[in-house]
Amino acid sequence: MAALKMSSFLSSSLCSASRSALFLKGRTPFAVRAVANYGTAAAIEEPIKPSVSIEHTKLLINGQFVDSVSGKTFPTFDPRTGEVITHVAEGGKEDVDLAVAVARKAFDEGPWPKMTAYERSLVLLRFADLLEKHTEELAKLETWDNGKPYEQALNVELPICVRLIRYYAGWADKIHGLTAQADGPHHVQTLHEPIGVCGQIIPWNFPLLMFVWKVGPALATGNTIVLKTAEQTPLSANFAAKLLLQAGLPDGVLNVISGFGPTAGAPLASHMDVDKLAFTGSTETGKIVQSLAAQSNLKPVTLELGGKSPFIIAADADVDQAVELAHFALFFNQGQCCCAGSRTFVHESIYDEFVSKATARAIKRTVGDPFKAGIEQGPQIDPEQFDKVLSYIKSGNESGATLETGGNRIGSTGYFVEPTVFSNVTDDMKIAKDEIFGPVQSILKFKDLDEVIRRANATRYGLAAGVFTKNIDTANTLTRALRVGTVWVNCFDVFDAAIPFGGYKMSGIGREKGIYSLHNYLQVKAVVEPLKNPAWL
């Protein structure tokens, strides 16, 4: 299938920290109104009430939605207003222990690993059909719980989820080992076997897409799963898990725990009976996850972590096209993308023109209720992320960068931030070094390729990069010199099911999607047998 490309909502990847939700008890929502120049449809007089029911707010263990052992619940919030949407079960160590025990039994004794690969592929294909059937409901849940534009969730993210599951279903019966020639009279073969019980921890910025990225390859290869959702966005995973059960997934193969990092994520990462761990989130949390895994049973870990991606615009670029692509690369999904093009490097010969046009484009960006048609930007996920973004804007002002536009909150409730553009940014500023994870564009100036390569690589991250040029030599030079896992040339955030995604340096370990994701969930076993009649070799 051709790469999924969208002119206004290109598909994007995702990662972020698992951050503690702030409980906004007693907070009364007020009307959110856009400031002048921001958003042709930005004001939220009355937030749209999504027409979707929330059926499952409990933990999924052994095919049943159950209360947590402690009976505790916690609220999940509408980031448009700060209001509580519903309360969900708060899983803890005891719940993780139960879920892992169930997953272990399902792996050791249950039918899933023992099914034919073709049977597993049929379950995944039925799941994809159900995702497609319930696209509108899932998209509404994503928008309500996360704040992303409904049109983005409906028209971009859900179709990608469906495609990814069908992709993994196609792989299920095509996983096989090899035979090898030995020096002596032996028959040698390798077997690719499922690794066992997989712990998976997903982030809040693309909850459903990350659910699919994790469970698809794990299920296709015959494993069982205990998955922890982000505390900010627990709703869509339970809906999707219910559909998997309807598709014929045996009880206990997938277990879903909602809860917080220290009390649910840490017990999962350190569990002695979890055979493999996959985490998407911040680099800081990734270090903790890896340490916990190492201190327990040395389980293998894949990490998809943070980024500070350079977006390099060469002197020969069409400025208008470059402005639009750089705008998308940064502002998509409220800037809450691990691979966001958050360091916009522009050649000095076109710098002033680019800054002027990038500022004008940001001013025209529509901000408001993400359920309204035509909205490009909704709220940030929660008060913590909202305050973090505003603190980085303050830092940019204090460090001497030029604030071209934006820099403030929009309205008096909810977590809306003006699309913000800084020019005259230098490499030593916090806004150029740290992952802001918000709608803040930093525009830097460069003179030549050697300089921009050195500066682009001078970061602890190495997730992705963008290159915009008409010159094939410039493109080839940059794609080979940049130390990142993905380079998009004259495009950005193009995600096909077969394209691997992951980072260099502190942006992670391993790859998601494509054939590389299957490697994360397989063990390789060598089988050696003597040949009684070596004359026939």
Domain 59-305+510-519 identical in fold to domain 310-489: no
Can 231 be counted among the known catalytic residues? no
pLDDT exceeds cutoff 80 at 534: no
pLDDT for 123: 98
Q: Which of 142, 157, 231, 304 is catalytic?
A: 304
CATH of 59-305+510-519, one of 3.40.605.10, 1.20.120.920, 3.20.20.140, 3.40.50.1820: 3.40.605.10
pLDDT for 420: 98
pLDDT for 44: 55
Q: How many residues does the chain have?
A: 537
Confidence of residue 352 (pLDDT cuts 50, 70, 90): very high
Instruction: Taking residues 163-188, report their average pLDDT.
Output: 94
The full set of domain ranges for the chain reads 59-305+510-519, 310-489
pLDDT exceeds cutoff 60 at 407: yes
Residue 410 carries which side chain, given as an amino acid letter? Answer: I
The verdict on pTM exceeding 0.95 is no
C-alpha to C-alpha distance for 178 and 172, rounded to whole angstroms: 17
Residue given tokens 């079960």 in the structure block: 89
Strands (E), 126-271: 179-181, 186-194, 197-201, 224-229, 254-258
CATH of 310-489, one of 1.10.287.110, 3.40.50.1100, 3.40.309.10, 2.30.30.30: 3.40.309.10
pLDDT for 45: 63
Task: Please give the full DSSP string across 331-368, using - where no structure is assigned.
Answer: HGGGG--TT---EEEEETTTHHHHHHHHHHHHHH--BS
Average model confidence (pLDDT) for the chain? 92
Nearest to 311 by CA among 299, 296, 321, 297: 321
Phi, psi of 194 (to 5 degrees): -60, 145
pLDDT exceeds cutoff 50 at 216: yes
Edge-to-edge strand list for the sheet holding 508-509: 64-66, 59-61, 254-258, 224-229, 197-201, 276-280, 301-304, 508-509
